[in-house]
Amino acid sequence: MTQSVFRFGTPLLIILFALWMITDAPEKSPATITQAEESGQTQTSKHHLATFAGGCFWCMEPAFDKVDGVISTTSGYTGGRTKNPTYEQVKTGRTGHIESMQVRFDPDRVSYDSLVSLLWHNVDPTQANGQFCDHGNQYRTVIFSHDEKQEKVAKSTRTRVGQELGKPIETQIMKAGKFYPAEEYHQNYYKKNPTKYKFYRWKCGRDAQLDAVWGKKARQP
């Protein structure tokens, strides 16, 4: 009897222990883990990802870097076909990739809704095929959703923005895919080259157009 219990009980205990380990493991949410693994970026389950395209990625980082709860911003390329694209390739408009920015944030300190609102007020969503002085599909505006919740927020706010501005909204909503960080010299460009950055932003007419579109809401959350 003792031998029988040992022979059949041990495998049963192993199976029960394995099931306990599976059910007790922390759940991975699509926005926090899956996309991070796909993009090759390391993050904890506490941090979520948001990915936006708003024209030149140099000009997108500053507004988001100021937000309490944003852990980091990364300029990069996504949405296209070419693997490991370079800036020289993307700027031709033939890779399908879009200049984008990936935001890592703490949802306990800042909501995804707030980040999307900040995006809207930093772009001209009525402009097609580019942003400000940068023209071409590689500069178009896109909200890349990492899960169904983000997609729902993106769609509902796009409808609201269209009603507010009274014009067709050209900003697309796409499912997030592989994100390729841009070359190091593009990261935090506004900090590394403040004079060149300010001149480019002024010459491109970004702030003047934002003011014309959004008024007092321009560049605000």
Query: How much is the pLDDT for 201?
Result: 97
- Residues 161 and 119: their CA atoms lie apart, in Å, by 11
Helix, strand or coil, per DSSP, at residue 127: coil
pTM here is: 0.80
Give catalytic residue positions: 56
Crossing angle between the packed helical segments 112-120 and 148-165, to the nearest 10 degrees: 40
- What residues have CB less than 8 Å from 109, skipping those under 6 apart? 68, 69
The whole-number average pLDDT for the span 135-158 is 97
According to DSSP, residue 58 is labeled: G
Give the CATH fold of the 30-217 domain.
Peptide Methionine Sulfoxide Reductase; Chain A (3.30.1060)
| pLDDT tens-digit readout, 122-134 | 999 999 999 999 9
- For strands 70-78 and 48-54, give the pairing: unpaired
Q: Are 221 and 113 in contact (CB under 8 A)?
A: no
Does 109 have pLDDT greater than 90? yes
Closest-CA residue to 74 (of 45, 46, 42): 42
- Chain-centroid distance of CA 97 in Å reads 14
Q: Are 59 and 103 in contact (CB under 8 A)?
A: no
- Residues 103 and 108: their CA atoms lie apart, in Å, by 15
